């Protein structure tokens, strides 16, 4: 799925291989609070930035279908965008047929509206969104990923063995250049939303490390399986999608909102001493 691109020959694969703790995985149940937190955001939706009507394609996570993204897509549509599902059933990992289907879906939406498409991908869906944008940047306005493990080793996930059982292409069969290419953000504005409390994939694998000015990380907290409902995700996403094409600016929350985007997870819980960002967000 990767389109060949020149990359830094000195770029090495991430060394962190440690998966989230069992405690964090058990705490994924707190996603119910993320879902509950969605309600106040919906109530204040009229105060959020309104959309310009451009198309947005939402890609689900591993083992999920478009049903999981329905609340998120409705929220995006209510903001004033043309929100679309991927129409490819369950996300069961990479396959050539899935690759072809995603490409066709992106091309179809671009032709239908005559505009570039914003891509929003949850978990593995975000990995796919990045690679679609890498392959066809002329069709993509921006990419937003939600807890997407594009920098990790296979062992940095609590579900990598399940992935190997289900995906047509296992981690072991992925060529090294695939993993290396994923480290580079696609050539469009890119936002990585992540949670240091992620119990499914190591948070270190879900952040961008790039000097580019159109690449950013936003800490949103919460559970991995609740990112599609997370109120901080919803607020930040409304701001990201409203960025004018060609005039993208980094996310700066209002002063009263800044505490909500801070990291409140202690290092002992999240193994935070392994920090690719070199500072605590």
Beta-carbon contacts of residue 9 (< 8 Å; ≥ 6 apart): none
Give the confidence band of 170 by pLDDT, cuts at 50, 70, 90: confident
Residue 126: which of 257, 36, 49, 217 has the closest Cα?
Answer: 217
Name residue, tokens 């995603």: 102
Here the tokens at position 104 are 């066709």
Confidence category of residue 281, pLDDT binned at 50, 70, 90? very low
- pLDDT bin (cut points 50, 70, 90) of residue 172 is confident
Task: Provide the residue ranges of all domains of the chain, joining segments of one domain with +.
Answer: 22-246+256-263
Q: Which residue would you say has higher pLDDT here, 191 or 254?
A: 191
Please, which residues have CB within 8 angstroms of residue 22's CB and are 6 or more apart in sequence? Answer: none
Write out the H or E segment, with its range, that includes residue 191.
Answer: strand 190-194
pLDDT digits (tens, 9 = 90+) for 112-164: 999 999 999 999 999 999 999 999 999 999 999 999 999 877 778 898 888 88
Q: How many CB atoms lie within 10 A of CB 256?
A: 7
| pLDDT, average across residues 244-248 | 95
Single pTM value for the model: 0.92
Residue 75 CA, chain-centre distance (Å), reads: 17
- pLDDT band for position 73 (cuts 50, 70, 90): very high
pLDDT category at 267 given cuts 50, 70, 90 is: confident
Closest alpha carbon to 206 in 60, 42, 20, 36: 20
Q: How far apart are CA 135 and CA 23, in angstroms?
A: 38
Is 22-246+256-263 assigned to CATH 3.30.460.10?
no
pLDDT, residue 16, reads 56
Residues 12-56 pLDDT 10s: 555 556 789 889 999 999 999 999 999 999 888 888 999 999 999
Q: Which two tokens stand for residue 243?
A: 């960025």
**Interacting residues of 56 by C-beta distance below 8 A, sequence separation 6+:** 73, 76, 81, 82, 83, 84, 117, 118, 119, 120, 241
Q: CA-CA distance, 256 to 239, in Å (whole number)?
A: 15
């Amino acid at each position: 799925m990767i389109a060949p691109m020149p990359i830094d020959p000195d770029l090495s694969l991430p060394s962190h291989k440690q998966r989230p703790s069992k405690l964090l995985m058990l705490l994924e149940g707190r996603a119910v609070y993320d879902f509950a937190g969605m309600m106040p955001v919906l109530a204040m939706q009229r105060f959020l930035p309104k959309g310009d009507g451009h198309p947005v394609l939402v890609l689900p996570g591993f083992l999920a279908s478009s049903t999981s993204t329905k609340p998120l897509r409705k929220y995006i549509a209510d903001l004033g965008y043309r929100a679309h599902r991927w129409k490819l059933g369950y996300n069961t990992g990479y396959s050539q047929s899935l690759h072809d289907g995603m490409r066709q879906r992106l091309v179809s939406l671009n032709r239908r509206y005559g505009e570039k498409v914003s891509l929003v991908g949850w978990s593995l869906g975000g990995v796919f969104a990045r690679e679609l944008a890498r392959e066809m940047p002329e069709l993509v306005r921006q990419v937003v990923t939600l807890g997407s493990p594009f920098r990790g080793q296979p062992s940095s996930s609590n579900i990598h063995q399940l992935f190997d059982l289900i995906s047509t292409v296992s981690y072991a069969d992925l060529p090294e250049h695939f993993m290396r290419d994923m480290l580079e953000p696609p050539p469009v504005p890119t936002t990585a939303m992540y949670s240091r409390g992620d119990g499914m994939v190591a948070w270190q694998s879900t952040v961008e490390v790039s000097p580019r000015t159109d690449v950013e990380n936003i800490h949103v907290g919460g559970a991995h399986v609740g990112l599609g409902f997370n109120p901080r995700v919803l607020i930040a996403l409304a701001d990201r999608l409203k960025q004018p094409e060609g005039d993208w600016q980094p996310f700066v929350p209002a002063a009263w909102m800044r505490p909500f985007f801070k990291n409140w997870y202690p290092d002992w819980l999240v193994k935070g001493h392994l920090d690719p960002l070199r500072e605590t967000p």
